[in-house]
Amino acid sequence: ERPASVGTIAARRGATASVIARLADLLGAAPVDRPVAVTAGTTTLLGISPGRWTVVGGEGDVETRFAGLADVAALVDQTGGMVVFDLSGPKVGDLLAALVAVDLHPSVTPAGSVLTTTVAHVGVTLWQSAADRWTVLVGRSYALAFERAVVAGAAWSGVELA
């Protein structure tokens, strides 16, 4: 599934607080400067490192939508290069546990946590977007490899794919 928009916002040195304040004004919700997903309307901001967020969703490219941040942040549109997968169901956690080397137990990785890791040597960013739903952001050229890993992991963990 292709999102309406994907991109990165990276605060310039010393400008993280300003970027957070301006994003709060623009979106009505402030991003968090840690690995947490914050959703405002159709836009989700994923904290991927200090002062850096991946933007998923919303209309228009990131460079145009957030042009008012250009003096305090680098803006990079990545819409054409990313694919978003939504994985849901009662056993999706079991499936992902078979694919990643990260503890996904809710006591360690609560809902809203953002993780950057690998699945079958493919770099991914994933977050728990609902109780039994995980969203995974994958580079477009690796989408097929990720799909194959999900199918193999589903067979191994007993998850049925619909």
Which pLDDT value is given to residue 160? 66
Residue 24 has pLDDT above 80, yes or no: yes
**Rounded mean pLDDT, 84-98:** 88
Q: Per-residue confidence at 12, pLDDT binned at 50, 70, 90?
A: very high
Which pLDDT value is given to residue 98? 87
How many CB atoms lie under 10 A from the CB of residue 12? Answer: 15
Share of the chain above pLDDT 70, in %: 96
Which pLDDT value is given to residue 90? 85
Amino acid of residue 103: D
Question: 97 to each of 56, 83, 118, how far by Cα in Å?
Answer: 24, 21, 12
Which pLDDT value is given to residue 1? 52
Look at 27-36, 64-73, 148-157 and tell me which has the smallest mean pLDDT: 148-157
Residue 41 has pLDDT above 70, yes or no: yes
**Rounded mean pLDDT, 107-118:** 92
Mean pLDDT estimate for the chain: 91
Residue 131 has pLDDT above 90, yes or no: no
Which pLDDT value is given to residue 139? 95
